[in-house]
Structure 1
Amino acid sequence: MMANFSDAEREIYGKLADYLIPSWKDRPAATSVGVHRHMLDEVLRIRPDLEAAFQRAIARCPGQDISKELNALAREDNAAWTALTTVTTGGYMMTDEARAAVGYPGQVAPPYDPNETPEYVTNGMLDRVKARGPIFRDTRHLS
C-alpha cells in the first residue's frame, strides 16, 4: 500500500534531497526535477520495499541541521539511509532533465551480431589468460 505524503513531509524530503543532490553548474538540483513530488511516488511505486525505511528517514531528519541529521541517520539506521539515498538518486536519474545534464542517454541496446568474432578475442587482450591456463582454487574451506 502506497503512503500519501503530506506537503510538509515532501518539503522536508525536498530539503534533504537538495542537500544530497544540489544544483551544480548546468546540473539541476533534486527538487528541480521533482524528486519530492511525482518522482517520489513513482520510485516508491516501483520499490515499495523501501517505503517504511524511507518514512523513518524523513521522520528522523526534520531539516533543521541537515548535515548533522544525515550523518546521524547514516551511522544509526543504515536501512533508512540506504532507502533515502536510493529513492533520491533513483528518482533523480529517472528524469530526462537529470539524464541529459549528466550525459546519460539511458539504457540502449547496441547492435549485436552473434556471428561476428568480438575484437577482444582477436586483439591479444586474452593471450596472457590463455597462456596461463586454467586456475582453480578451492574456496570451500573459507566458509
Structure 2
Amino acid sequence: MLDSEQRRTFAVLADILIPGTDTMPSATAAGITAHLVDRALGYRPDLVAEFSQALADCSCGAPESALDVLSTEQPGRFAALTVIASGAYFLSPRVARAMPYAAAPRAVREDIDTYADILEHVVDRGFTIR
C-alpha cells in the first residue's frame, strides 16, 4: 500500500508519536512500518485517504512541527495518522510480549439447556411489544 518514501515518513512520525521506553519498544522497533501498517490500513480502509494526505503534509520540514500543525489545522488527518500508528503498534507481537497484561480466563458456557429454560417463558408469552 505505501511506497518507500511514505514508509520512511511514517517511521519518523510514528517514533515521535510512540517513542520507546525501558519496557516498551518504539514504533519502529515494534516493526509497524513493515507489514503492520498495511494490516492496520486494511482494517480501516476509511482512513487510507486521510492517512496518506497526513504523510504528504508531514513529508517536508521538521517532523515535530509538522505534527503540531497537522493536529491543529487538519485534525481529521492527524486522527487518521494516530489511529493507524497506534493500531499497527498494538498488532505487533513485540508489543504484546512487552505488555504486562494477561487477560483473565473466560469461563466456557455450553449450557444450552439453561438458555432454553430461561427463554421458555418468552416463547410461551409470544412476541409482544410493550
Q: TM-score, normalised by structure 1?
A: 0.70
Paired position in structure 2 for 1:57: 54
Per-residue deviation, 1:62: 1.4
Per-residue deviation, 1:109: 5.7
Runs of 4+ in 1 over 6 A off after TM superposition: none
- Contact map agreement 1:12 1:63 (CA 8 A) in 2: no
1:35/1:63 Cα in 2 relative to 1: closer, same or farther (>3 Å)?
Answer: farther
1:97 paired with 2:94, answer yes
Could you say what secondary structure the match of 2:21 adopts? coil
Per-residue deviation, 1:86: 0.3
1:76/1:7 Cα in 2 relative to 1: closer, same or farther (>3 Å)?
Answer: same
Could you say what secondary structure the match of 2:29 adopts? helix
Per-residue deviation, 1:64: 3.3
Paired position in structure 1 for 2:126: none
Structure 1 vs Structure 2 CA RMSD: 2.1
Unpaired segments of 5 or more residues in structure 1? 116-143
Find the aligned partners of 1:76 and 1:109 in 2 and give their Cα distance.
45
Could you say what secondary structure the match of 2:2 adopts? coil
Could you say what secondary structure the match of 1:37 adopts? helix
Amino acid at match of 1:34: G
Paired position in structure 2 for 1:75: 72
1:102/1:41 Cα in 2 relative to 1: closer, same or farther (>3 Å)?
Answer: same
